[in-house]
Amino acid sequence: MTAFFLIIVITMLVLFALYAKRSKSDFPESLIMQHSPIKIGHRGASGYCPENTMASYKKAIELGADFLEVDIHLSKDDVLVVHHDPTLDRTTNGKGNLRDYTAAELKELDAGSWYHSRYKNERIPLLREVLENFGSEVGILIELKHPSAYPGIEEKLAEELGKFQECSTSKNKIMVHSFDMESMKRFHQLMPDIQVGVLIKRRINDQKLKEIAEFASFLNPKQTILSTKLQMRIQKHGMKVFTWTVNNKKQIHMFKMMQVDGIISDFPDYFLD
Ligand code: G3P
Ligand code: CA
Protein backbone atom coordinates (compact mmCIF):
# COMPACT_ATOMS: atom_id res chain seq x y z
CA MET A 1 0.00 0.00 0.00
CA THR A 2 2.84 2.39 0.98
CA ALA A 3 4.75 1.49 -2.23
CA PHE A 4 1.62 2.14 -4.30
CA PHE A 5 1.15 5.48 -2.62
CA LEU A 6 4.82 6.36 -3.26
CA ILE A 7 4.52 5.47 -6.96
CA ILE A 8 1.47 7.74 -7.28
CA VAL A 9 3.29 10.65 -5.58
CA ILE A 10 6.43 10.20 -7.71
CA THR A 11 4.37 10.01 -10.92
CA MET A 12 2.56 13.19 -9.98
CA LEU A 13 5.84 14.96 -9.23
CA VAL A 14 7.34 13.90 -12.57
CA LEU A 15 4.23 15.04 -14.45
CA PHE A 16 4.25 18.35 -12.63
CA ALA A 17 7.96 18.89 -13.41
CA LEU A 18 7.36 18.18 -17.11
CA TYR A 19 4.35 20.51 -17.12
CA ALA A 20 6.28 23.33 -15.43
CA LYS A 21 9.21 22.95 -17.83
CA ARG A 22 7.13 23.79 -20.88
CA SER A 23 7.62 27.34 -22.03
CA LYS A 24 4.67 29.67 -21.89
CA SER A 25 4.54 29.79 -25.68
CA ASP A 26 3.69 26.04 -25.76
CA PHE A 27 0.33 26.78 -24.21
CA PRO A 28 -2.79 27.78 -26.07
CA GLU A 29 -3.30 31.50 -25.50
CA SER A 30 -6.69 30.85 -23.94
CA LEU A 31 -4.92 29.08 -21.07
CA ILE A 32 -2.54 31.96 -20.33
CA MET A 33 -3.99 34.24 -17.72
CA GLN A 34 -5.22 37.32 -19.58
CA HIS A 35 -2.79 40.19 -19.15
CA SER A 36 -4.02 43.73 -19.69
CA PRO A 37 -1.31 46.29 -20.31
CA ILE A 38 -2.24 49.92 -19.62
CA LYS A 39 -3.87 51.34 -22.76
CA ILE A 40 -2.32 54.68 -23.59
CA GLY A 41 -3.83 56.90 -26.29
CA HIS A 42 -0.94 58.45 -28.24
CA ARG A 43 -1.59 62.19 -28.56
CA GLY A 44 -5.14 61.13 -27.67
CA ALA A 45 -6.74 59.05 -30.40
CA SER A 46 -4.56 60.52 -33.12
CA GLY A 47 -5.51 57.75 -35.53
CA TYR A 48 -9.00 59.30 -35.67
CA CYS A 49 -8.65 62.97 -34.76
CA PRO A 50 -6.13 65.80 -35.01
CA GLU A 51 -3.40 64.89 -32.51
CA ASN A 52 -3.10 66.58 -29.12
CA THR A 53 -6.48 68.33 -29.30
CA MET A 54 -9.43 68.18 -26.95
CA ALA A 55 -11.35 66.25 -29.64
CA SER A 56 -8.57 63.67 -29.77
CA TYR A 57 -8.54 63.23 -25.98
CA LYS A 58 -12.33 62.89 -25.80
CA LYS A 59 -12.22 60.26 -28.54
CA ALA A 60 -9.45 58.31 -26.77
CA ILE A 61 -11.53 58.16 -23.60
CA GLU A 62 -14.58 57.10 -25.57
CA LEU A 63 -12.51 54.28 -27.10
CA GLY A 64 -11.38 53.01 -23.71
CA ALA A 65 -7.92 54.52 -23.15
CA ASP A 66 -6.66 54.30 -19.56
CA PHE A 67 -4.16 57.12 -20.13
CA LEU A 68 -3.78 60.03 -22.55
CA GLU A 69 -0.29 60.71 -23.83
CA VAL A 70 0.26 64.46 -24.04
CA ASP A 71 3.32 66.32 -25.44
CA ILE A 72 4.23 69.61 -23.81
CA HIS A 73 6.26 72.76 -24.57
CA LEU A 74 6.56 76.24 -23.07
CA SER A 75 5.06 79.29 -24.81
CA LYS A 76 6.85 82.65 -25.04
CA ASP A 77 5.19 83.72 -21.77
CA ASP A 78 6.15 80.42 -20.09
CA VAL A 79 2.78 78.70 -20.14
CA LEU A 80 2.73 74.91 -20.57
CA VAL A 81 1.01 74.12 -23.83
CA VAL A 82 0.19 70.82 -25.49
CA HIS A 83 1.67 70.28 -28.94
CA HIS A 84 3.98 67.76 -30.54
CA ASP A 85 6.34 69.65 -32.85
CA PRO A 86 8.51 72.56 -31.73
CA THR A 87 7.15 74.36 -34.81
CA LEU A 88 3.56 75.20 -35.71
CA ASP A 89 3.49 74.58 -39.43
CA ARG A 90 2.52 70.90 -39.65
CA THR A 91 -0.57 70.85 -37.44
CA THR A 92 -1.82 74.45 -37.25
CA ASN A 93 -2.30 77.45 -39.51
CA GLY A 94 0.56 79.18 -37.67
CA LYS A 95 4.16 79.50 -38.80
CA GLY A 96 7.54 79.12 -37.13
CA ASN A 97 8.55 78.22 -33.60
CA LEU A 98 5.90 77.69 -30.95
CA ARG A 99 8.27 79.28 -28.42
CA ASP A 100 7.97 82.66 -30.23
CA TYR A 101 4.26 82.96 -29.42
CA THR A 102 2.41 83.72 -26.21
CA ALA A 103 -0.26 81.31 -25.00
CA ALA A 104 -2.94 83.81 -26.03
CA GLU A 105 -1.47 84.01 -29.56
CA LEU A 106 -1.27 80.23 -29.80
CA LYS A 107 -4.92 80.02 -28.77
CA GLU A 108 -5.87 81.98 -31.90
CA LEU A 109 -4.56 79.21 -34.15
CA ASP A 110 -6.62 76.54 -35.86
CA ALA A 111 -5.18 73.18 -34.75
CA GLY A 112 -7.73 70.96 -36.50
CA SER A 113 -8.26 71.93 -40.16
CA TRP A 114 -5.01 70.33 -41.30
CA TYR A 115 -6.67 67.01 -40.39
CA HIS A 116 -10.24 67.73 -41.53
CA SER A 117 -12.39 70.85 -41.87
CA ARG A 118 -14.84 69.55 -39.25
CA TYR A 119 -12.12 70.12 -36.64
CA LYS A 120 -11.56 73.77 -37.56
CA ASN A 121 -12.50 74.93 -34.06
CA GLU A 122 -9.85 72.84 -32.31
CA ARG A 123 -7.23 74.92 -30.51
CA ILE A 124 -3.82 74.17 -29.00
CA PRO A 125 -4.75 73.07 -25.46
CA LEU A 126 -3.00 74.35 -22.36
CA LEU A 127 -1.77 71.54 -20.11
CA ARG A 128 -3.98 72.98 -17.36
CA GLU A 129 -7.06 72.52 -19.55
CA VAL A 130 -6.21 68.89 -20.24
CA LEU A 131 -5.70 68.19 -16.55
CA GLU A 132 -8.91 69.96 -15.57
CA ASN A 133 -11.06 68.40 -18.26
CA PHE A 134 -9.78 64.84 -18.25
CA GLY A 135 -7.58 64.35 -15.19
CA SER A 136 -10.36 62.94 -13.04
CA GLU A 137 -11.51 60.51 -15.73
CA VAL A 138 -8.27 59.01 -17.05
CA GLY A 139 -4.57 59.01 -16.35
CA ILE A 140 -2.33 61.56 -18.07
CA LEU A 141 1.12 60.59 -19.35
CA ILE A 142 2.98 63.84 -20.00
CA GLU A 143 5.96 63.91 -22.35
CA LEU A 144 8.40 66.78 -21.99
CA LYS A 145 9.49 67.60 -25.53
CA HIS A 146 13.04 68.93 -25.92
CA PRO A 147 13.23 70.11 -22.29
CA SER A 148 16.78 71.43 -22.77
CA ALA A 149 15.28 74.12 -25.04
CA TYR A 150 13.09 75.29 -22.15
CA PRO A 151 15.24 75.89 -19.08
CA GLY A 152 13.05 75.66 -15.97
CA ILE A 153 10.28 73.61 -17.62
CA GLU A 154 10.57 70.93 -14.91
CA GLU A 155 9.84 73.54 -12.20
CA LYS A 156 6.91 74.88 -14.22
CA LEU A 157 5.49 71.40 -14.58
CA ALA A 158 5.94 70.65 -10.88
CA GLU A 159 4.12 73.89 -10.05
CA GLU A 160 1.25 73.09 -12.42
CA LEU A 161 0.87 69.52 -11.18
CA GLY A 162 1.10 70.69 -7.59
CA LYS A 163 -1.88 73.01 -8.16
CA PHE A 164 -3.82 70.29 -9.93
CA GLN A 165 -3.15 67.66 -7.30
CA GLU A 166 -4.28 69.94 -4.50
CA CYS A 167 -7.79 69.97 -5.89
CA SER A 168 -7.81 66.49 -7.36
CA THR A 169 -8.74 63.11 -6.01
CA SER A 170 -6.82 61.12 -8.63
CA LYS A 171 -3.33 61.60 -7.27
CA ASN A 172 -1.75 58.50 -8.73
CA LYS A 173 -2.81 58.96 -12.30
CA ILE A 174 -0.18 61.30 -13.60
CA MET A 175 3.09 60.08 -15.05
CA VAL A 176 5.85 61.99 -16.81
CA HIS A 177 8.36 60.78 -19.39
CA SER A 178 10.93 62.17 -21.80
CA PHE A 179 13.84 61.15 -23.99
CA ASP A 180 15.93 63.49 -21.83
CA MET A 181 17.17 61.47 -18.84
CA GLU A 182 18.66 64.48 -17.02
CA SER A 183 15.36 66.31 -17.24
CA MET A 184 13.53 63.34 -15.72
CA LYS A 185 16.07 63.12 -12.95
CA ARG A 186 15.52 66.83 -12.18
CA PHE A 187 11.75 66.46 -12.26
CA HIS A 188 11.90 63.43 -9.98
CA GLN A 189 13.83 65.45 -7.42
CA LEU A 190 11.13 68.13 -7.52
CA MET A 191 8.17 65.73 -7.35
CA PRO A 192 9.29 62.31 -6.09
CA ASP A 193 5.66 61.15 -5.74
CA ILE A 194 5.03 61.34 -9.47
CA GLN A 195 6.39 58.40 -11.42
CA VAL A 196 8.78 59.24 -14.23
CA GLY A 197 10.08 57.29 -17.20
CA VAL A 198 12.73 57.57 -19.88
CA LEU A 199 12.00 56.98 -23.57
CA ILE A 200 14.57 55.16 -25.66
CA LYS A 201 14.83 54.27 -29.32
CA ARG A 202 18.29 52.69 -29.34
CA ARG A 203 20.03 49.88 -27.49
CA ILE A 204 20.93 50.54 -23.90
CA ASN A 205 23.68 49.06 -21.73
CA ASP A 206 23.29 47.78 -18.18
CA GLN A 207 25.21 50.69 -16.68
CA LYS A 208 22.71 53.16 -18.18
CA LEU A 209 19.78 50.99 -17.08
CA LYS A 210 21.13 51.03 -13.56
CA GLU A 211 21.51 54.84 -13.61
CA ILE A 212 17.96 55.30 -14.88
CA ALA A 213 16.53 52.81 -12.38
CA GLU A 214 17.79 55.00 -9.55
CA PHE A 215 15.03 57.53 -10.20
CA ALA A 216 12.69 56.18 -12.88
CA SER A 217 9.72 53.85 -12.51
CA PHE A 218 9.53 52.94 -16.17
CA LEU A 219 11.66 52.74 -19.27
CA ASN A 220 9.80 53.07 -22.54
CA PRO A 221 11.40 51.53 -25.64
CA LYS A 222 10.31 52.14 -29.20
CA GLN A 223 8.47 48.99 -30.30
CA THR A 224 11.08 48.21 -32.96
CA ILE A 225 13.79 47.60 -30.34
CA LEU A 226 11.66 45.83 -27.75
CA SER A 227 12.45 42.15 -27.34
CA THR A 228 11.68 39.76 -24.49
CA LYS A 229 15.33 40.00 -23.53
CA LEU A 230 15.24 43.80 -23.26
CA GLN A 231 11.94 43.62 -21.37
CA MET A 232 13.50 41.22 -18.86
CA ARG A 233 16.57 43.43 -18.45
CA ILE A 234 14.38 46.47 -17.76
CA GLN A 235 12.15 44.57 -15.34
CA LYS A 236 15.19 43.09 -13.60
CA HIS A 237 16.18 46.66 -12.80
CA GLY A 238 12.77 47.14 -11.19
CA MET A 239 11.21 49.28 -13.90
CA LYS A 240 8.03 48.88 -15.93
CA VAL A 241 7.91 48.81 -19.72
CA PHE A 242 5.59 50.91 -21.90
CA THR A 243 6.22 50.51 -25.59
CA TRP A 244 5.34 52.94 -28.41
CA THR A 245 3.81 53.60 -30.89
CA VAL A 246 2.01 50.37 -31.73
CA ASN A 247 -0.64 50.84 -34.41
CA ASN A 248 -1.05 47.30 -35.66
CA LYS A 249 -3.57 44.98 -33.99
CA LYS A 250 -1.37 41.90 -34.34
CA GLN A 251 1.57 43.68 -32.73
CA ILE A 252 -0.63 44.94 -29.91
CA HIS A 253 -1.70 41.36 -29.35
CA MET A 254 1.91 40.18 -29.37
CA PHE A 255 3.00 42.79 -26.80
CA LYS A 256 -0.01 41.82 -24.66
CA MET A 257 1.23 38.21 -24.74
CA MET A 258 4.70 39.42 -23.79
CA GLN A 259 3.02 41.02 -20.78
CA VAL A 260 4.48 44.49 -21.24
CA ASP A 261 3.13 46.95 -18.70
CA GLY A 262 1.71 49.50 -21.11
CA ILE A 263 1.18 50.06 -24.84
CA ILE A 264 1.02 53.49 -26.46
CA SER A 265 -1.14 53.57 -29.61
CA ASP A 266 -2.89 56.04 -31.93
CA PHE A 267 -5.82 53.60 -31.90
CA PRO A 268 -7.01 52.91 -28.34
CA ASP A 269 -9.81 50.70 -29.68
CA TYR A 270 -7.31 48.20 -31.14
CA PHE A 271 -6.84 46.77 -27.65
CA LEU A 272 -10.29 45.26 -27.58
CA ASP A 273 -9.60 42.23 -29.77
O1 G3P B 1 5.10 58.08 -26.08
C2 G3P B 1 6.18 57.94 -26.85
C3 G3P B 1 6.12 58.71 -28.10
O4 G3P B 1 5.10 59.63 -28.01
C5 G3P B 1 7.42 59.36 -28.39
O6 G3P B 1 7.44 59.84 -29.67
O7 G3P B 1 7.45 61.65 -31.30
O8 G3P B 1 5.35 60.46 -30.82
O9 G3P B 1 6.28 62.02 -29.15
P10 G3P B 1 6.57 61.04 -30.23
CA1 CA C 1 4.86 61.82 -27.33
User: The domain spanning residue 63 has which CATH number?
Assistant: 3.20.20.190
Ligand 1, atom 7, lies closest to the CA of: 84
Q: Would you state the pLDDT for residue 27?
A: 41
Residue 2 in domain? no
Which residues span the domain enclosing 86? 26-272
pLDDT tens-digit profile of 55-114?
A: 999 999 999 999 999 999 999 999 999 999 999 999 999 999 999 999 999 999 999 999
Ligand 1, CB cutoff 6 Å, lining residues: 42, 69, 71, 84, 143, 199, 244-245, 264
Residue 16 in domain? no
Instruction: Tell me the CA–centroid distance for residue 175 and ligand 1, in Å.
Output: 14
Instruction: Tell me the CA–centroid distance for residue 42 and ligand 2, in Å.
Output: 7
Residue 73 in domain? yes
Residue of 43, 52, 71 to test ligand 1 pocket, by largest number of atoms within 8 Å of CB: 71
pLDDT tens-digit profile of 217-265?
A: 999 999 999 999 999 999 999 999 999 999 999 999 999 999 999 999 9
Residue 112 in domain? yes
Residue 7 in domain? no
- Strand ranges inside the chain, DSSP E: 38-42, 67-74, 80-82, 139-144, 174-178, 195-200, 218-221, 240-243, 262-265
Residue 20 in domain? no
Q: Which residues are catalytic?
A: 42, 84
Counting the structural domains of the chain, the total is 1
Instruction: Tell me the CA–centroid distance for residue 163 and ligand 1, in Å.
Output: 26
Please list, in sequence order, all residues whose beta carbon lies within 8 angstroms of the beta carbon of residue 65, skipping any fewer than 6 positions away: 39, 40, 41, 45, 138, 268
Instruction: Single out the residue of 203, 156, 194, 157 nearest to residue 172, CA to CA.
Output: 194
Residue 141 in domain? yes
Residue 99 in domain? yes
